[in-house]
Structures are given as structure tokens and as C-alpha cells.
A = this chain, B = another copy of it.
Amino acid sequence: MSGIIRVGVKVMPREVILDTQGRAVEHLLKQKQMHVSHCRVGRFVELEFATESEKAALEQAKVIAETVLHNPLIETFELIPMTNGR
């Protein structure tokens, strides 16, 4: 069986930048008496690589995240290895 490695890429709005979605969700949650103090909304991308090497997968994921999945002017990203992903 050939291996499959999953890597998650979490893309969030840069801290200094206005998060319009987060603002609207936070507002509604507060109105509904759900006690959050802050809320931010971003994206989560799951990438699957046909490889045995987690290192190789992470490297490729990094390139993809940097060049395709995130807009560096307004977003930051983080790689999340998903060993036990479903």
C-alpha cells in the first residue's frame, strides 16, 4: 500500500488587518449571549500527498501554501501535520 500523508494549512487574516467576517460573527454571538470575547474567521485547506515522507509532504505543502493558498498581504498561514486525519 502506498502511503498518503495529509497536511492541513490554516490561513488566517493578518493580525493588523480587519477581519470583516470575524467582526460580524462576533457581533452576532454577543447578541445571542454566547460569551466569546473575540472571534476570527479564516480558511482551512487539507492537502493530501501520495508519499511516505512526512518531511517531503510538509515541504510541498509549504510551497503550495506560500504561493497559492494564501495572500501574504492580508493573510498568514500555518502548517498543521494531520497524522491521524480521517
Chain A residues in contact with chain B, CB under 8 A?
A: 4, 8, 10-12, 22, 25, 28-29, 32, 34-50, 60, 63-64, 67-69, 86
Contact = CB atoms under 8 A, between A and B. Distances in A.
A46 B4 contact: no
Contacts of A4: 37
A38 B48 contact: yes
B12 A36 contact: no
A36 B48 contact: yes
Nearest to A10: B44
A11 B67 CA distance: 23
B68 A49 contact: no
Nearest to A39: B47
